[in-house]
A and B are shown apart, each in its own frame.
Chain A
Amino acid sequence: MTERAPGDDTRAHDREDVAITSFSVGQPASAHGNPGSVAVPEEPIAPLTPALAMGPSEYEAPAADLLAQQAGVEPKARSQWAYARIRFFRHKMAVISLVVLFLICLVAIFAKRVAPYGYDELDLFNITSPPTTTDKHLFGTDLLGRDYLSRVIYGLRTSLWVAFFVAFLSTAIGTTIGSLAGYYGGATDNMLMRFTDLILTLPGLAVLLTAATFFGNGDPLKVGVILALLLWTGIARIVRGVFLSLREKEYVEAAKASGAGDARIILRHMLPNALGPIIVNTTLIIAAAILIEAALSFLGFGIQPPHPSLGTLIDDGQGEGFEKWWLVTFPGLVIVVIALSINFIGDGLRDALDPTQRRVRA
């Protein structure tokens, strides 16, 4: 069975493709055009029996469900997304990471309930104490006696929020630019790609720092926007690639011939194909965003007080000296855990959504 791109359906209401797990049917010899010169034996040959020919006459065609059964197909057709889901759940690490990330998100959302203390709550009797189980100071306290666990929780909430925002925004920008470049091609493509290359030529961190310094920082939203404006290029490239390869396909031409407008073609026919790689890349951007934002905030250029951030926590912690190791360790560990989970999830997604699964062929 030749590959069919998702969205390549004639039933307008049915989004889902029937994907049958079977090996490709070998092409009958006739598909290759002339069978070559066939040796012609002497006697006239009986036509290979009308009796064995198919047809409604005396012999019934094999029962349909027999056919289905022998093809190894379950009677119920599964959608493409269902198969992706199955493949994803085969990845132990990805599934574990998903659970971990989910829990972390829960903690972030319900921060007020989960954190034992407030972000700024002082406890001057317990200044800079190491982690301990008394008073629930599981991560210790900082120089003002603020509970570190709570601070980390609030910090992680902001960092997560910014990361998701950046991913969302840069995906939006990248998809738009990429699809326009890929769909229209030619001059538009050229121009947009030059622009993308220009952004790529700029040394990332340096530009970020410069932008942050001079455009104002401190506010998570602003930081998010600046990050997004620099991280969209990867997605743009990928979407463009997918679109360029799809432009030539017949169903696009067919859609155009039937009068579909550009926007409709892009959105309904071409974009769903790019969805897989887009999703994978978006997850990667989330991880990248967390790391970069933390670095920026650590250096003082990103999120600043009063907004909580894991990066600033580490920065403050650094100032206290390395004997008070918990001030630096815990926020960083949280970052590592989040980034690690996202990487595993991204890996699982890539395997799940990648259409080029290697199959065993005889």
Chain B
Amino acid sequence: MLTYIIRRLLYSTVVLVLASFLVFTFVTVSGDPLAGLRIAPNVSELTVQNVIDRKHLDDPIPKRYLYWVQDAVTNQFGSTLLDNRPILPELWRVMKNTLQLVLIAQILVIFFAVIIGVYSAIRQYSGFDYTMTTVSFLGLATPVFWLALMAQVAVVQIYERTGHRLFPIANLNSVDPGTGIHFWVDRAHHLVLPVFVLMVAGIAGYSRYMRAAMLEVINSDYVRTARAKGLNERRVMMKHALRNALIPLVTLVALDFGTLLGGAVVTETVFSLDGMGLYFVNALFTNDPYPVMAFLMVTAVMIIIFNLIADIAYGLLDPRVRYD
């Protein structure tokens, strides 16, 4: 197993380097970041040239790539295009915020999805099952950004009619949140709606998956054998059925963790949350390639790492899978 991990890590590093080059080339050739600057009326030639020199924008691509890598590794992930702000501190700040949001949401999603999925499978075709299936379909058909907006609309409409402010509809904290516990309570209050929005699609997807996995297991021969041995239903479900059904889910969850960081882009935008998604979108708007590339690289790393974790987890959980 150890050799497998090492091999995978080496392989992943190569992939990462390749990906970084691809990302760089892709972002660089696809537009002139200075286009906006060039046509701006008050900007002198000298200013523009300064930027070009600083970022080596005149050099051929491979050389620029190396400059970028050097910058990234040694100098806080490089700096923004125009005002030369170091990227790392900002990136770190927004990453922490996003992590709070997505981790809370994901944990809640898994919790509810497993319960709903398992129960739907055990009571297949029951009223609960049908209701949950319809709700899941609804959840999967609802665009996240729209759901976020509707949440805001609902809160505002309720406020207008009843004067009651249910939840904050924007930002991570209020203007003056206080310190210590007050700060975090305020933060939690602000995160309720975003977490809810993220949960809907997540539960919809995972519970269907869990249900399908559980159904397949429930109808398997070895569950029948377990019953034939005289075990009571509860033990059959818990020890034999669930354990097998969870394996694919664990792998799925691990894989999804890789995409979590980049997965809240829309939610953060609608709720104006100071997270990685919003950071990324703003950089796109201002045509600043460096934060864009930093974001893409971070998410790529996360995906690669969690792919590996998913494979390892699968190997640990399912004895039929052995890596050598």
Given a CB threshold of 8 Å, the question of whether A touches B is answered with: yes
- Tell me, in angstroms, the Cα distance from A162 to B220 when the chains sit together: 42
Q: Is A201 an interface residue (CB 8 A)?
A: yes
Is B269 located at the chain interface by the 8 A CB criterion? yes
Give B33's nearest chain A residue, CB to CB. Answer: A214
Query: In the bound complex, what is the Cα–Cα distance between A182 and B289 (angstroms)?
Result: 38
Cα distance, A202 to B307, chains bound together (Å): 12
Q: Which of B95-103, B119-127, B188-196, B294-302 has 4 or more CB atoms under 8 Å from chain A? A: B294-302
In the complex, are the beta carbons of A328 and B138 less than 8 A apart? no
Q: Mark B251-287, 1 if CB is under 8 A from A, else 0.
A: 0000000010011011001100000000011001101
Alpha-carbon distance A280/B216, docked complex (angstroms)? 20
In the bound complex, do residue B160 and residue A323 qualify as a contact, i.e. CB atoms below 8 Å apart? yes
Which stretch of B38-46, B141-149, B231-239 is in the interface? B141-149
CB distance from A292 to the nearest CB of B (A): 9
Query: Does chain A have a CB within 8 A of B137?
Result: yes
Q: In whole angstroms, how far apart are the Cα atoms of A322 and B152 in the complex?
A: 7
Chain B residues with CB below 8 A from A352, complex form: none
Q: In whole Å, how far is B273's beta carbon from the nearest beta carbon of chain A?
A: 15
Interchain CB contact (< 8 A) of B153 among A203, A329, A343, A344: A329
Which single residue of chain A is at the shortest CB-CB distance from B264? A205
Count chain A residues whose beta carbon lies closer than 8 angstroms to a beta carbon of B.
41
Q: Are B299 and A328 in contact (CB-based, < 8 A)?
A: no
A292's nearest neighbour on chain B, judged by CB, is B143
Q: Are B304 and A210 in contact (CB under 8 A)?
A: no
Contacts of B19 in A (CB 8 A): 198, 201
Query: In the complex, what residues of A have CB within 8 A of residue B270's CB?
Result: 318
Chain B residues near A318 (CB, 8 Å)? 149, 270
Size range of the chain B interface in the assembly? 35 or more
Interface assignment of A340: CB less than 8 Å from any CB of chain B: yes
User: Within the assembled complex, what's the spacing in Å between the Cα atoms of A300 and B285?
Assistant: 9
Picked from A203, A287, A291, A338, the residue with its CB within 8 Å of the CB of B300 is A203
B156 CB-CB contact with A under 8 Å: yes
- Contact A203 B137, CB 8 Å, known A210-B27, A335-B146: no
Interface contact A201-B143, CB-CB below 8 Å: no
- A149 located at the interface, meaning its Cβ lies under 8 Å from any Cβ of chain B in the complex: no
Given known pairs A301-B284, A314-B146, A335-B146, the reply for A328 and B153 (CB within 8 Å) is yes
User: In the complex, what residue of chain B is closest to A298 when comparing beta carbons?
Assistant: B145
A294-B143 contact given A206-B262, A206-B295, A210-B26, CB 8 Å threshold: yes
Is there contact, CB below 8 Å, between B262 and A203?
Answer: yes
* Chain B: minimal CB distance from A32 (Å): 21
Bound complex: CA of A358 vs CA of B292, how far in Å?
A: 50
- Residue of A209, A291, A294, A358 near B265 (CB, 8 A) is A209
Once A210-B284, A323-B156, A340-B137 are accepted as A-B contacts, the answer to whether A203 and B143 lie under 8 Å apart by CB is no
Given A201-B15, A201-B303, are A340 and B153 neighbors across the interface (CB < 8 Å)?
A: no
Please provide the chain A residues from 191 to 218 with a CB less than 8 Å away from any CB of chain B in the complex: 198, 201-207, 209-211, 213-215
The answer, yes or no, to whether B47 is at the interface (CB within 8 Å) is no
- Asked whether B163 is an interface residue with its Cβ less than 8 Å from the other chain, the reply is no
Bound form: Cα–Cα A41–B1 in Å: 60
**B residues 17-69 with Cβ under 8 Å of A?**
19, 26-27, 30-31
Could you pull out 17 A-B pairs where Cβ atoms are within 8 angstroms?
A201-B19, A201-B300, A203-B296, A203-B299, A206-B265, A207-B296, A210-B26, A295-B143, A298-B146, A299-B266, A299-B281, A301-B284, A322-B153, A332-B142, A336-B143, A337-B141, A342-B141
